[in-house]
Chain A
């Protein structure tokens, strides 16, 4: 997917994370987390795997984690990437189908 604009998903509430994606060259990932020492590697792995599934090759990705589970990390990365790649809610409602079980899994 081509990240063509800047988009954000998620919040800074406990158990959540806020993910921002911007157009970039290659994958530039920045992670801030209160549990970075314990789970930093696992968080990075989940985010990179999600970006790979979504076929994102060029993007600047900023993650501010507040203790999110894997399922939330994935959901927020997907939310930000789809919003930044032409999948607004208006377009989804107009019939642009999301790849549940495909790129989203």
Chain B
């Protein structure tokens, strides 16, 4: 199994692959993932130039452990197959499929990846896939998309196109995304995949960004797409377990392990009833804390 499948992805920062000033050193801001964009950020007459730029960035820039996801052009365009070739030749970490609407879309990209992997001598399974859901059709197909491939690590909501398809707009209240967010979290969890929220584009409203990030964290999301390094710290703060949460999780894990050996199924931790149902959540908190580099315990 690819060790990156369930890696920490609190922040996924979009960068135009055609802009050298953006792609030369984004690792200094320490996002968990960067999303090198060949799609919407790149003008139609610069699609070829963006690929040369992407290829050399992937091959020559040391991104210091930051995951390198590449957003390829949509399957409705003529660009995407060469996008897949350059992604594989450059050995990116993951490919983000734009405007995904079915499991067949994921299969189509995976087939092109296989061809390119054979051509460039890249091991199948070493490059992962994520799917962006940008339409009502895509959101409604979230479950089949999540189950489409073992290489698919997660799905992401793309709010701009989705609200256009819904015939509404981004209001700042989140009401327009309520159903899609809830459904996508359920579909992703049902298939054991990760799920990421859409971007928050008002860079002057950091309080609004924090509230939205806190809300999607409570809903069950794993992280958020971001458009500016200023958003990284807030995103990581929200998605990193607090000391209090880590201590509680540690107690639960240790108590469950100990009590299980004694044949006790229900007990109390800090005055609250705990049983085995709390165990996976507590383990996840510890794993998240470890991945975020804030766990100093012995579990």
A interface list, Cβ under 8 A from B: 9-10, 13-16, 68-72, 74-76, 78-79, 82-83, 87-90, 92-94, 97-98, 100-101, 104-105
Q: Kindly state the separation between the CA atoms of A72 and B53 in the bound complex, as whole angstroms.
A: 6
Would you call B20 and A69 a contact (CB within 8 A)? yes
Give Cα A79 to B50, complex, Å: 9
Interface of B is mostly: helix
When C-beta atoms are compared, the residue in chain B nearest to A71 turns out to be B56
In whole angstroms, what is the CA distance A77 to B56 when docked? 12
Enumerate the 9 nearest inter-chain pairs by beta-carbon distance, A residue then B residue, closest first: A100-B89, A93-B78, A71-B56, A75-B52, A15-B21, A72-B20, A71-B60, A15-B20, A75-B53
Which of chain B's residues has its CB closest to A79's CB?
A: B49
8 Å CB interface, B49-93 against A: 49, 51-53, 55-57, 59-61, 78-79, 81-82, 85-86, 89-90
Report if A89-B48 is in contact (Cβ < 8 Å); known contacts: A16-B20, A100-B120, A101-B89: yes
The contact sample of 11 A-B pairs, CB cut-off 8 A, is A71-B56, A75-B49, A75-B53, A89-B45, A89-B47, A89-B48, A98-B82, A100-B55, A100-B89, A101-B89, A104-B52
Give the CA-CA distance A83 to B202 in the complex, in Å. Answer: 38
Q: Is the CB of A78 within 8 A of B21?
A: no
A13 touches B21 (CB 8 A): yes
Q: Nearest chain-B residue to A99 (Cβ)?
A: B89
A2–B159 alpha-carbon span in the complex (Å): 45
Interface size on B, residues (CB 8 A): 26
Contact A69:B52 (CB < 8 A) given known A98-B85, A105-B59: no
Complex Cα gap A90–B44 (Å): 11
How many interface contacts (CB-CB < 8 Å) are there between A and B? 77
Q: Once the chains bind, are B21 and A14 in contact (CB under 8 Å)?
A: yes
Instruction: Check B24 for interface membership: any CB of A closer than 8 A.
Output: yes
Complexed CA–CA distance, A60 and B55 (Å):
25
Known contacts being A72-B56, A100-B120, A101-B120, is A89 close to B86, with CB within 8 Å? no
- Are B52's CB and A79's CB within 8 A? yes
Q: Judge whether A76 and B21 touch: CB under 8 Å.
A: no
Q: Contacts of A71 on B, CB cut-off 8 Å?
A: 53, 56-57, 59-61
Q: Could you tell me if A78 and B52 are in contact, using CB atoms closer than 8 angstroms?
A: yes
Report yes or no: B48 in contact with A87, Cβ–Cβ below 8 A. yes
Chain B, residue nearest A77 (CB): B52
Chain B residue nearest to A97 (CB atoms) is B85
Is B19 in contact with chain A by the CB < 8 A criterion? yes
Query: B49–A9 contact, CB under 8 A?
Result: yes
A9 to B51, CA, bound (A): 12
Residues in B with CB closer than 8 Å to A98 are 51, 82, 85-86
Contact of B79 among A72, A93, A101 (CB under 8 A): A93
**A100/B53 in contact, CB under 8 A:** no
